[in-house]
A and B are shown apart, each in its own frame.
Chain A
Amino acid sequence: QVQLVQSGAEVKKPGSSVKVSCKASGGTFSSYTISWVRQAPGQGLEWMGRIIPILGIANYAQKFQGRVTITADKSTSTAYMELSSLRSEDTAVYYCATSKLGRMDVWGQGTTVTVSS
């Protein structure tokens, strides 16, 4: 069974960037895609994008286009989500999840990103 372990909490200044990692273990990294979903405090879930690690191809939600970059390192079975030009509204918990045919069946524990001056 695949397990996803994310990097630790981050505190960032407005205008800066954050890069969150998601390391997979217990499965074949190239056999699934990785999605990133965020959840602002007290709010619902928001899909940001996903990557197909074996191809290195990513799809992004238009809302984040130009600000988010999702990458994957097959050699370490790790996916990354980098969000730039941070603003206070980006304060949220960021989750990675395996997205098999679109359904997200295994989730990381979440990474809290706080944007504050």
Chain B
Amino acid sequence: VIWMTQSPSLLSASTGDRVTISCRMSQGISSYLAWYQQKPGKAPELLIYAASTLQSGVPSRFSGSGSGTDFTLTISCLQSEDFATYYCQQYYSFPWTFGQGTKVEIK
């Protein structure tokens, strides 16, 4: 099983801030990593896959980077609709696993 450490678990920020979320793997996964956004009571939505490829329709203020064991999601200029919980997910090997989640809240 590939274990994932996502940090921070809670991030307090203001509109317009640049925020970064980290995801670290227990072993290398090349670029087989996705990021999701989830709002309360809703299904998750895919933001980024293959570590850095933006899903169609996702605003360009979202970006992903990294490969191997260390990955980062960056929101360049936080908007009000971005306050949500974010998850990383590896799909390098079964079982596919998710990070513990990062809640981005209003400061």
Interface on A for B, CB 8 Å cutoff?
35, 37, 44-47, 50, 59-63, 95, 97, 99, 101-105, 107-110
Contacts and interface: CB of A to CB of B under 8 A. Distances in A.
Contacts of A108: 43
A99 B98 CA distance: 14
Nearest to A35: B96
* Chain B interface, >50% SS class: loop
A14 B95 CA distance: 26
- Looking at chain A's contact residues, is the secondary structure mostly helix, strand, loop, or mixed? strand
B20 to A, nearest CB: 19
A109 B41 CA distance: 9
Contact of A109 (B43, B49, B97, B101): B43
A104 B94 contact: no
Interface residues of B, number: 24
A45 B46 CA distance: 13
Q: Which of B38, B91, B95 has the most CB of A within 10 A?
A: B95
A76 B74 CA distance: 40
Contacts of A50: 96
B94 A105 contact: no
A105 B98 contact: no
Contacts of B65: none
A107 B101 contact: no
Contact of B98 (A44, A101, A107): A44
A103 B43 contact: no
Interface of B: 1, 32, 34, 36, 38, 43-46, 49-50, 55, 87, 89, 91-92, 94-101
Contacts of A105: 46, 49, 55
Name the 7 nearest CB pairs between A and B, nearest first: A102-B91, A103-B49, A107-B43, A61-B95, A45-B98, A103-B34, A47-B96
Between A46, A99, A102, A108, the greatest number of chain B beta carbons within 10 A of the residue's beta carbon is seen for A102
Contacts of B94: 59, 61
B46 A47 contact: no
A61 B73 CA distance: 26
Nearest to B45: A107
